[in-house]
Structure 1
Amino acid sequence: MASTEGLVPITRAFLASYYDKHPFTPLSAHVSTLSSQIRSMANDFLTQHPPIQGESILINEADQQPPHKMDENMWKNREYIEETIFLLQSSNWPEALKQQSTADSVEFAITLGKLKDKLHITLKALESFQTKNAEHVFNTVMTYLPQDFRGTLIRQQRERSERNKQAEVDTLVNSGGSIHDRYALLWKQQMDRRRQLAQLGSATGVYKTLVKYLVGVPQVLLDFTRQINDDDGPMEEQRHRYGPPLYSLTSMILSIQLFLSLSWARYDANNLKMEQITVLEQAVDVYTMELERFLTFISEVFANAPFFISAEVAGALEARKNDDYKEINVPAGKTYEVLLSVDAVNSYIAWDFSLVQGKINMDIGFSLEFVSPTGEKTLMLPYGRYESDQGNFCTLMAGSYKLIWDNTYSTFFKKVMYIGMLTNSVRCKLSHD
């Protein structure tokens, strides 16, 4: 069991500093150009022959923005790739193309077979990425669990859950479920996994009984599993940095699928032209190359990104990111107090403050008190003298606290700028009285 002493879950500010060191080389300009060309060719089909039954759903989906969540985009890419592979299989070609009665159709058939093979390779790369990423997250969580029967119970629970999920998929497929139906179920199962991970942190649902026996499980791990999927949590920085190129690729493969689907339905009236096949071939080539490049890059970034960092680093980064401070005067012989509340047990309160520069008495007294509901005060951090740019953090129980700047010893007033009073479970700025 790895130690988490002095650690807090990753923050969005930390991920931003980590991702700064790992910029993604922008997608090829061909992605945008070819996506537009493919979609324009699909629209030409619709201009000549309006949508038939069943096509409106796919058209509407292509008109919408891709999902915001990166993992949902990964599943969408898998779905659209599989749908495109299905259309490229010779058994699903239009009858006129199957007959290969012209020299062009023979050449088309050879090209379509090559495109199917390329997409199949990319599909396997995407499946491998998802499997490895899921194992990485789970194994990291397990690293911080006691290495005894408790960890074994969680592994067994996961294995049993995965077998049940696969049985669900098999039943759907055997009953004639479509590719779309299968991926709707797979995404639902993925959301179930995310909820179960969060339940481990909040000790609710399926894990409620189990967590009662998890004595010795670090609170920081439970905080991590509870917060990892928050809509505005650390992963939002990941979406902000690396989401846009993935969104573009999601739209591109959907446009390719839409083009082929509309083309096959209208093939008797509008045989594919050589220039259309050329654009299609270029689009599949660029899509597969760029998606595989993105997966290679993001795999390395994810594998090396930490889940936990020190509380000092978390507080300093958050303070720098927000650049938020309050300047106050502490008159001679007076004190200044900040009251704050802590809701989560074992939260970290971090603070940092500096004194406005002067010639005399460049330090100030500072202490931290716990205030009980009855008003009783307990000293949490002993009184001490602090100079500029000195910060600290302290592990606290739930309750109310008072941060006190003391200038009673001096005949001069002090200006204090203080920042970064945060909890690791909420990562929010606490209000000042």
Structure 2
Amino acid sequence: MRAKIVNIGDELLIGQTINTNAAWMGEQLDLLGIKVVSSIAIADTREAILEELESASKDAQVILITGGLGPTKDDITKHTLCEYFDSELILNEEVLEGIEEYFKSKGREMLQVNRDQALLPEKCEVLINTRGTASGMWFQKDGVIYVSMPGVPYEMRYLMIHEILPRLKAKSDGGIYHYTVKTIGVGESYLAEEIKEWENELRAEGLKLAYLPSPGIVKLRISGFGSSEKDVKDKVHSYADKLEELIPQYIFGYNKDQLSEIVGIKLLAKEKTLGICESCTGGYLSHLLTSVSGSSAYYEGSMVTYSNELKMRILGVKKETLEEYGAVSEPVVEEMVKGGLKAFGTDYTIAISGIAGPTGGTPDKPVGTVCIAVGSNDEIRTFTFLFGKSRERNIHMSAIYALNELRKMLDD
């Protein structure tokens, strides 16, 4: 089946509200093997809604609509759907009872506009929304399914999970299974060259591969489609295993794995602790680590030593080292790690110093030059990277590359 997603609301068009509904709905439909051919946000007007419904029905069998179902006069979706399906509003007693109970539980007075939300198109199948007062509506016309839902994300998701997806699954002739392999430290084009024979074999077996690049990371999404979920999963996983044998040096995780979580798991397994000494990243690496629940079990803390004075006074970096090599150098980050290990009393420390930009670069050390050191009292490893000219990208890349080097050290 082919589907279109229509999100109604002026707030989506002017950027006042981020349209998270479309992304989540698209992901859920894809898992059912339903292809999303378009996703659009439209104005909350009769003309826009009618035009989009007519257009969408020409090349999709499922049209999912969110928004415009509130109690106020500017929410006109329900009335426009009556016009499109040549229907009229009638009072649904079951919905009315639910709305009355909803307001009673909140200790609030129910107004006439709230009561009017129990008025629903006669020709629709009502989908009861226990998370709010706006019901879902299921229509069918000329072989096309139309479903209207509230725009509030948690109400929409409730209806999708409990009412809509099970019905669509029953009508679907198969499912899609995705498995994502995450790589770091290798460019998309170089990676494609490395795995081209594996990719050709994979595609010959009826599987698909998508390259999903982001700063520093390339995700390889392997997809299979079929009526037997087990057979599809087995085939996808067999090719993922082959890929791990082919490029183990680049793979750090799978599906929703995050580097900060993976490093944390490895530190916990070894019962080791970590401290951070940051300069150009300004605390961003520490933010990534503390975003993980339970990180206090292994993460001790950080020092953001932005100035040379603090590098010397707090971390014990030698003045002679700074004068000879500069703050952005492997000798300096090595001394930062040594100072951090002593100050934190941790098993491992990471140090970062770089030129995030857009100013501060020199011919010898252009913007994007970053030095990283990871180490323990037994071993310190240092690295120099050249990332680029974007300050935000350089900060992000510095943090994830530092985490990756610690991950590799923990694996050795």
Larger radius of gyration: 1
Q: Same fold (TM over 0.5)?
A: no
TM-score by length of 2: 0.27
**Larger proportion of strand:** 2
Task: Identify which of structures 1 and 2 has the higher relative contact order when contacts are C-alpha pairs closer than 8 Å and 6+ apart.
Answer: 1
